[in-house]
């Protein structure tokens, strides 16, 4: 069976022809008008990017290469004795559009374990960070510094031919993904522990090794949770802040480390990936105010206090989704299976019963339903990982998979520099003066 790189090499020529044919057939077709409100309104709904790994439907949620979350839970290879999909398989699917064999997934686990060491100067950068520096800032610093050994940057400096860009990009993205557990583990141990890190096991899967570095390899259920977690957070089409940022920065031919470092800075915002940390803080505050088992009416009041304070309810709403996020549902199912009695899970369920009605009554949010971040923290907390300002780092480890897959294809297909047109309010007013 071919390796991922060999399979990619087979797929790329046909995809170049596919894109050519698509542009020839549809290149001049319109998606409809662009209206001025979209320029002021965060470009909502503006068709602007090609992203092959996944497409998001407002009602149904994410499909990875056409497959829903239940589809991939069924189809992707699992660890021996496990029931959740291995993220290695999801990466293969994102990159190729194909379901890999167990053997191909095992080969990927081994390859990532073999590439996992980080340079000692990056270890030193992390060790020198004050524990008060947010884990996401540390994460971004370390990923950016990996650019020191970028195969793409080196090949570019040596004059690589444009048609070969994808090859060193592929090598960099494999290194990037492989090194994230050591970076995340080091940050975790430095900030919350004694800074000592165990070694990655060469014959274990990615999620097991990440769990091991965090100190949780002895809890098989937690390892399964990580497999599910990394799989479902990996990709959410191209327009979200982290994915779009990675693609944008990559379009300047900044290497994958620079591009993904930029993604992480976007993921670190409270309206994006930091929301998983914010949810836990918000729930904890609720518990300290209302006790462990508040009534629906108490929760309702608490939600109204948040809204009246001019704050958002973290974990609810979405720029595209208009129904409950299937990533929320997948995590809820995990909780119902493994931790139905957990008091924090029960609080999350209660919040789910109350918040949508309050948001509908308040009448502003276009989507009153929960997103992925409303559920992830409570699962991690259940197994003891209650260091909530670390949660977004785990989201970031996962998001690398989606951004990496697209960076490879962008370089394979010769994607151009991104450079949309901007206007000033004065220009808008003069343009539409008499219209």
Catalytic residues: 272, 318, 373
Q: Which does 271 bind (CB under 5 to 8 A by kind): ligand NMX, ligand MLT, none?
A: ligand NMX
Taking the complex as a whole, how short is the minimal distance between the CB of residue 226 and ligand NMX, in angstroms? 18
Q: Does residue 319 interact with ligand MLT by CB under 6 A?
A: yes
What is the rounded distance in angstroms from the CA atom of residue 421 to the CA atom of residue 415? Answer: 17
CA-based nearest residue to 108, from 249, 250, 230, 242: 230
Taking the complex as a whole, how short is the minimal distance between the CB of residue 241 and ligand MLT, in angstroms? 7
The two tokens of residue 176 are 């990037």
Cβ–Cβ under 8 Å, residues 402 and 246? no
Q: Which does 317 bind (CB under 5 to 8 A by kind): ligand MLT, ligand NMX, none?
A: ligand NMX
* Cβ-based neighbour number of residue 201 at 10 Å: 13
Of all residues in this chain, which one has the CB nearest to ligand MLT in the complex?
Answer: 240
Of 197 and 319, which CB lies nearer to ligand MLT in the complex structure?
319
Residue ranges binding ligand NMX (CB under 6 A): 271-273, 275, 307, 312-319, 364-367, 371-373
Q: Which does 316 bind (CB under 5 to 8 A by kind): ligand NMX, ligand MLT, none?
A: ligand NMX
Taking CB under 6 A as the criterion, which residues in 359-378 touch ligand MLT?
A: 371-372
Q: Does residue 406 interact with ligand MLT by CB under 6 A?
A: no
Taking the complex as a whole, how short is the minimal distance between the CB of residue 164 and ligand NMX, in angstroms? 35
The two tokens of residue 53 are 């790994």
Of 44 and 128, which CB lies nearer to ligand NMX in the complex structure?
44
Taking the complex as a whole, how short is the minimal distance between the CB of residue 291 and ligand MLT, in angstroms? 31
CA-based nearest residue to 418, from 235, 260, 292, 254: 254
Q: Does residue 381 interact with ligand MLT by CB under 6 A?
A: no
Taking the complex as a whole, how short is the minimal distance between the CB of residue 221 and ligand NMX, in angstroms? 24
Of 205 and 373, which CB lies nearer to ligand NMX in the complex structure?
373
Q: Does residue 411 interact with ligand MLT by CB under 6 A?
A: no
Taking the complex as a whole, how short is the minimal distance between the CB of residue 397 and ligand MLT, in angstroms? 14
Of 134 and 272, which CB lies nearer to ligand NMX in the complex structure?
272
List 65, 67, 236, 382, residue binding ligand MLT (CB under 6 A): 236
Of 123 and 418, which CB lies nearer to ligand MLT in the complex structure?
418
Of 58 and 312, which CB lies nearer to ligand NMX in the complex structure?
312
Q: Does residue 398 interact with ligand MLT by CB under 6 A?
A: no
Which residue matches tokens 């004050």?
130
Q: Which does 223 bind (CB under 5 to 8 A by kind): ligand MLT, ligand NMX, none?
A: none
Q: Does residue 240 interact with ligand MLT by CB under 6 A?
A: yes
Of 255 and 278, which CB lies nearer to ligand NMX in the complex structure?
278
Taking the complex as a whole, how short is the minimal distance between the CB of residue 372 and ligand MLT, in angstroms? 6
Of 106 and 234, which CB lies nearer to ligand MLT in the complex structure?
234
The two tokens of residue 54 are 């996944």
Q: Does residue 231 interact with ligand MLT by CB under 6 A?
A: no
Taking CB under 6 A as the criterion, which residues in 173-212 touch ligand MLT?
A: none
- Three-class SS of the chain: CCCHHHHHHHHHHHHHHHHHHHHHHHCCCCCCCCCHHHHHCCCCCCCCCCCCCEEEECCCEEEECCECHHHHHHHCCECCCCCCECHHHHHHHHHHCCCCCHHHHHHHHHHHHHCCCCCHHHHHHHHHCCCCCCHHHHHHHHHHHHHHHCHHHHHHHCCCCHHHCHHHHHHHHHHHHHHHHHHHHHHHHHHHCCCCCCCCCCCCCHHHHHHHHHCCCCCHHHHHHHHHHHHHHCCCCCCCHHHHHHHHHHHCCCCHHHHHHHHHHHHCCCCCCCHHHHHHHHHHHHHHHHCCCCCHHHHHHHHHHHHHCCCCCCCECCCCCCCCCHHHHHHHHHHHHHCCCCHHHHHHHHHHHHHHHHHHHHCCCCCCCECCHHHHHHHHHHCCCCCHHHHHHHHHHHHHHHHHHHHHHHHHCCCCCCCCCCCCHHHHHHHCCCC
Taking the complex as a whole, how short is the minimal distance between the CB of residue 261 and ligand MLT, in angstroms? 17
Q: Which does 336 bind (CB under 5 to 8 A by kind): ligand NMX, ligand MLT, none?
A: none
- What is the Cα 18 distance to its own chain's centre? 28
Q: Which does 366 bind (CB under 5 to 8 A by kind): ligand MLT, ligand NMX, none?
A: ligand NMX
HSE-up (13 A, CA, CB side) for residue 371: 27
Q: Which does 314 bind (CB under 5 to 8 A by kind): ligand NMX, ligand MLT, none?
A: ligand NMX
- Contacts with ligand MLT by CB under 6 A lie at 236, 240, 319-320, 371-372
């Amino acid at each position: 069976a071919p390796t991922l790189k060999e399979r990619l090499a087979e797929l790329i020529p046909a995809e170049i022809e596919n894109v050519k044919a698509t542009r020839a057939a549809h290149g001049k077709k319109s998606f409809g008008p662009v209206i001025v409100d979209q320029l002021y309104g965060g470009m909502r709904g503006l068709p602007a990017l090609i992203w092959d790994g996944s497409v998001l439907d407002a009602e149904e949620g994410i499909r990875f290469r056409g497959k829903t979350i239940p589809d991939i839970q069924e189809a992707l290879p699992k660890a021996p004795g496990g029931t959740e999909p291995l993220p290695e398989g999801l990466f293969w699917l994102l990159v190729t559009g194909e379901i890999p064999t167990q053997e191909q997934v095992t080969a990927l686990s081994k390859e990532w374990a073999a590439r996992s060491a980080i340079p000692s100067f990056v270890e030193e950068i992390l060790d020198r960070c004050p524990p008060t520096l947010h884990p996401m800032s540390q994460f971004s610093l370390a990923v950016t510094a990996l650019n020191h050994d970028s195969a793409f940057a080196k090949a570019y400096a040596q004059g690589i031919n444009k048609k070969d860009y994808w090859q060193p990009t592929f090598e960099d993205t494999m290194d990037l993904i492989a090194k994230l557990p050591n970076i995340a583990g080091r940050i975790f141990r430095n900030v919350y522990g004694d800074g000592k890190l165990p070694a990655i096991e060469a014959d274990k899967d990615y999620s097991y090794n990440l769990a091991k570095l965090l100190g949780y390899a002895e809890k098989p259920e937690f390892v399964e949770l990580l497999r599910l977690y990394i799989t479902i957070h990996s990709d959410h089409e191209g327009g979200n802040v982290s994915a779009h940022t990675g693609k944008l920065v990559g379009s300047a031919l900044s290497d994958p480390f620079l591009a993904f470092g930029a993604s992480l800075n976007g993921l670190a915002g409270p309206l994006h990936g930091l929301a998983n940390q914010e949810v836990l803080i918000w729930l904890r505050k609720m518990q300290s105010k209302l006790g462990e088992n508040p009534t629906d009416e108490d929760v309702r009041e608490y939600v109204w206090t948040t809204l009246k304070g001019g704050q958002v309810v973290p974990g609810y709403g979405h720029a595209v989704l208009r129904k409950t996020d299937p990533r929320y549902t997948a995590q809820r199912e995990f909780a119902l299976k493994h931790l139905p009695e957990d008091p924090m899970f029960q609080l999350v369920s209660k919040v789910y019963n109350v918040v949508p009605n309050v948001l509908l009554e308040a009448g502003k949010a276009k989507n009153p339903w929960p997103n992925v971040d409303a559920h992830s923290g409570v699962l991690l907390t259940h197994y003891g990982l209650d260091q909530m300002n670390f949660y977004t780092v785990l989201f970031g480890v996962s998001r690398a998979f989606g951004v990496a897959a697209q960076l490879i294809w962008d370089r394979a297909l010769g994607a151009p520099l991104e450079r949309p047109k901007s206007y000033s309010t004065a220009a808008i007013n003069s343009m539409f003066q008499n219209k």
